[in-house]
Amino acid sequence: MTGARGSDDGPSGGANARNRPGTPCWVSLMVHGPTATHSFYGALFGWEFQPGPQQLGPYARALLDGREVAGIGQLPGDRQLPIAWTPYFASDDVNRTAETVRLCGGTLGVGPLDAGEAGRMAIGLDPSGAVFGIWQAAAHLGTAVTGVPGTPVWNELTTFETAGVAKFYETVFGFELAPAAPTDADADADADHVTLRLGGRPVAAIRGVGNALPRYRGPHWTTYFEVADTEESLRRLTELGGHVVEPAHDTPHGRVTTVTDPEGARFALLEPGH
């Protein structure tokens, strides 16, 4: 993890306004068994669920204290999508952004298509094969609360090397690229890490790990969710059928661990430092 959203993102727990293009504005998970998945995340994060747009099949929005934080849907039988949390980046024109994705060497897996009155969306793959979403808001602006336990706090792309793929995201979404400061998790100061910024503010990161990236997984985005107590969250997660992939460890941004849900979707838990 090379950065984290801080107090300059707006008031903690505050409602979102219309997002600047490029802003990570939503996270979504497609699974085989949404009912069991709702139970897992409901018990882990305190989420409740209400129906959302059904363009890709059954889909529900997760609510925390009545405010939208994420989405979970059922994998369509005719689409080959990974069981993984997918970050969505804001766009003022999803058709134009999708065309830029193609021109820059990416591909479109889904859409662009309308999601009812909520907005318009597409799912793309960057040139390395990592999956991400594009969201053009209408009635649904995206995640409505951040900075409290149970909400997404950061997204990071793990890939083979950052140079080419960072240029892709810079061109598609207008990110500013900045070298990430090395952390205690880095083997050396030359670690291949890039922070993606908007208006000088860090919003996401890319980590190049070379051959340390398992070929069977490939490049992928990881969503970090905030928790109040890492150890308690891990105890609850394992009781619910989840698994610990990377033991909890301290970083300059707080205590972090990588886990999976019962269907194998990876995500990270972050207990912010004080």
User: Tens digits of per-residue pLDDT, 41-67?
Assistant: 999 999 999 999 887 789 999 999 999
**What CA–CA distances, in Å, run from 158 to 111, 122, 182?**
24, 21, 15
Provide the pLDDT confidence category of residue 273 given band limits of 50, 70 and 90.
confident
CA–CA distance, 255 with 159 (Å, rounded to integer): 23
Which is more confident, 182 or 81?
A: 81
- Concatenating the DSSP letter of every residue in 46-70 gives --EEEE---TTSSEEEEEETTEEEE
| pLDDT one-digit tens code per residue, 233-255 | 999 999 999 999 999 999 999 99
Amino acid symbol at 88: Y
Model confidence band, residue 184 (pLDDT cutoffs 50, 70, 90): very low
Give the whole-angstrom CA distance, residue 74 versus residue 30: 5
pLDDT tens, residue by residue, 117-162: 999 999 999 999 999 999 999 999 999 999 999 999 999 999 999 9
Q: What is the rounded CA–CA span in Å between residue 56 and residue 38? A: 17
pLDDT band at 182 (very low <50, low <70, confident <90, very high): low
What confidence category does residue 181 fall into, taking pLDDT thresholds of 50, 70 and 90? low
The residue assigned the tokens 């970050």 is 87
Per-position b or e across 199-237, b if 16+ CB within 10 A of its CB:
eebbbbbbbbbeeebeeeeebbbbbbbbbeebeebbebb
Which pLDDT score is estimated for 185? Answer: 47
3-state secondary structure 113-174: EEECCCEEEEEEECCCCCEEEEEEECCCCCCCCCCCCCCEEEEEEEECCHHHHHHHHHHHHC
